[in-house]
Amino acid sequence: MRITGVEPLILRAPLGAARFLSSQSAFPERNSLLLRIETDEGLVGWGEGGQYGPPEPVAACIQAVLAPQILGRDPRQPVRIQELLYALTRDFGQKGAYVEAISAIDIALWDLTGQALGEPVHRLLGGAFRDRVHAYATGCYYRPEHQHDAAGQLPALADEARSYVDAGFDTIKMKVGLLAIADDGARVACVREAIGAQTRLLADANHAYNAYSALRMGRILEAHDVLWFEEPVLPEDLDGYRLLRQSLDVAIAGGECEFMRYGFRRLFEQGCVDIAQPDLCAAGGLSEWVKIHALASSFGIATIPHVWGSGVALAAALHALAATPPFPYTALPQPLMNEPLIEFDRNPNPLRDELLVTPPRLVDGCLPVPRGPGLGIQVDEQTLQRYRQPDLLPG
Ligand code: CA
């Protein structure tokens, strides 16, 4: 079997009035860099790469540099090709767009390998520990409608948080970091009251703080029984991470802006995080996930991936998490304590909800792991064409 086509596809879905904000940026649209790899035997593999920035640089890395390296190769060797592409781009890559591009290729090659063998990716990764993965809702961003009422309450934020509980979630992640600490503390209190004491609450700052502000916010989070504090400080501020981890009881999570096992090694060696959050579509793909997870487990650190983007990204994460052992093993594993979670973004995103013929659906608070060969997904061509943008480079 040979690779005959490597086609990056830029998708954009404008959100209009449904736009929302984190501490770092506004989201007027959702976008994805999808990758379609075709073979001479008619199989088509799907990947996704790049999660946070514009998709064009990732598409350019694939189109101009990486695609010519893999055309004509047998796709059934994802680990080998991932290592080769990383080695070829090391001098100018290592992090960012090149590794995101390699991630997309890697995921598509695992998809193709699984299809060629007639086996789902989670079986190729060593076998499934579970056929569904406990999901947490990512929501409660900043929205224009989150205004105080006359009584000083935040009814729209409370309603949003409650809607996740009503949908079956028992774990919810909210944003902090955009507002002054007292105002964000009021938002955390509002969400905690809305969801009740039994629902697990997580908070994500998107590296909004310096260490001393994060420490103040962390103490407020602890007072509201928040279970993890995600990206409290800049990804480069390893000393800040370590200080917070030593000073706070809340678990420190991070890593969505880190790349490859080499990047994560620094986070682990320096005692920065309790929970590592590599993104499969950014940190090096499924091949690298296995290595980052192994490294993390040797440090006693849990690995719960960051997931953002389309249904393709979600499917890749579900296969990875199906094959992740309980950590640590117990006779009765509990979500978050020792069972992994999947991040299920609840912000508007047609690329997540419409792109797959069978989109991911929550069942009893869990997402089922796809069972079909490869990633076990089918991309809806009509939806793809609806959101597809013109090609970056001619020809
Ligand atoms: Ca995050």
CATH number at residue 59: 3.30.390.10
Q: Is residue 129 located within the same domain as residue 105?
A: no
pTM of the model: 0.97
Residue 394 pLDDT > 70? no
Q: Are residues 304 and 202 in the same domain?
A: yes
Q: Are residues 106 and 128 in the same domain?
A: no
Round to whole Å and give the CA distance between 126 and 48: 22
Neighbours of ion ligand 1 (CB under 5 A): 204
Beta bridge partners of 274: none
Q: Name the percent of the chain lying above pLDDT 70.
A: 99
User: Of 16 and 285, which is predicted with more confidence?
Assistant: 285
State both tokens at 309.
Answer: 């983007």
Q: What residues contact residue 79 under an 8 Å CB cut-off, 6+ apart? A: 287
- Ligand 1 centroid – CA 230 distance (Å): 6
In this structure, the answer to whether residues 285 and 222 fall within a common structural domain is: yes
C-alpha 136 – ligand 1 centre gap (Å): 13
Average of per-residue pLDDT across 210-220: 98
Q: What CATH number does residue 130 fall under? A: 3.20.20.120
Q: Which helix (H) or strand (E) holds 114?
A: helix 97-117
Please report the pLDDT score of residue 393 as a whole number: 63
Report pLDDT digits (tens) over 254-306. 999 999 999 999 999 999 999 999 999 999 999 999 999 999 999 999 999 99
Q: How far apart are CA 310 and CA 48, in angstroms?
A: 8
pLDDT of residue 392: 67
Q: Are residues 98 and 155 in the same domain?
A: no
Q: Are residues 226 and 361 in the same domain?
A: yes
What's the number of domains the chain is made of?
2
Distance 229 CA to ligand 1 centre (A): 10
391 pLDDT above the threshold of 80: no
CA 93 – CA 81 distance, rounded (Å)? 16
Kind and range of the H or E element at 383? helix 381-387
pLDDT of residue 86: 98
Ligand 1 centroid – CA 206 distance (Å):
6
Task: Show the domain range for 295.
Answer: 123-368
One domain, residues 143 and 258: yes
Do 244 and 357 share a domain, yes or no? yes
C-alpha angle with apex 377: 121 to 140, nearest 5 degrees? Answer: 100
Q: Where does the pLDDT of residue 395 fall: very low under 50, low under 70, confident under 90, or very high at 90 and above?
A: low
In angstroms and rounded to an integer, the radius of gyration of the C-alpha atoms of the chain is 20
**Is residue 317 included in any domain, yes or no?**
yes
Residues catalogued as catalytic:
306
- Looking at the fold, whether 93 and 129 belong to one and the same domain comes out as no
User: Are residue 96 and residue 73 in the same domain, yes or no?
Assistant: yes
Confidence grade of residue 152 (pLDDT, cut at 50, 70, 90) = confident
pLDDT, tens digit (0-9, with 9 covering 90-100), for 219-268: 999 999 999 999 999 999 999 999 999 999 999 999 999 999 999 999 99
Query: Ligand 1 centre and the CA of 203: distance in Å?
Result: 9
Cα of 286 to ligand 1 centre, how many Å?
19
Give domain status of residue 392, yes or no: no
* Cβ atoms of residues 343 and 359 within 8 Å: no
Q: Which residue has the higher pLDDT, 394 or 167?
A: 167
Question: Which residue has 């009893």 as its token pair?
Answer: 364
Q: How far is the CA of 51 from the centre of ligand 1 (A)?
A: 11
HEC assignment per residue over 201-236 = EEEECCCCECHHHHHHHHHHHHHCCEEEEECCECCC
pLDDT digits (tens, 9 = 90+) for 94-114: 999 999 999 999 999 999 999
pLDDT of 106 = 99
Residue 394, in any domain of the structure = no
User: pLDDT band at residue 357, thresholds of 50, 70 and 90?
Assistant: very high
Domain match, 107 and 193 both: no
Phi-psi region of 6 (alpha: psi -120 to 50; beta: other; left: phi over 0): beta
Same domain, 59 and 179: no
Token couple for 253: 């999570």
Model confidence at 362, pLDDT cuts 50, 70, 90, reads very high
> Ligand 1 centre from 343 Cα, in Å?
10
